[in-house]
Amino acid sequence: AVNGGYYNKASGTQSAVNGGKVNTASGTNAAVNGGGNNIASSYSAAVNGGYYNTASGHTSAVNGGYYNAASGYYTAVNAGTFNTVDGKGSAVNGGTSNEATGAFSAVIGGYYNTASADYSVAGVP
């Protein structure tokens, strides 16, 4: 279902785009909730605002910002720009150009931080 906005596409089974522009929800149960040029392409993936964000991991989410990507299982990017998460169960909580690639790892924020080991934390002041 597409609920408002323009040039939006909801092609996944039970997927939804709720406003914004040029957003795509192609995964089963996927959703894009506003913003622009966002893509939710995996099962239960979601992008909740922002621009040019991609949630392509199973049950992944990008919750705002610009040019962020959540591609691992159960991953999240919670704001910022150019952040990437692909470690299972990992998260980046803001900042710029951060990566969480280890399983269950986290980047708290800041710039150019990498949490590459399993269960690691980076970006702590």
pLDDT at 124: 80
Integer angstrom CA distances of residue 25 from 10, 15, 31, 93, 114:
5, 6, 5, 23, 29
Residues 30 and 18 sit within 8 Å (Cβ to Cβ): no
The amino acid at residue 75 is: T
pLDDT of residue 59 exceeding 90: yes
For the segment 13-42, the average pLDDT, to the nearest whole number, is: 98
What is the structure's pLDDT at 21?
98
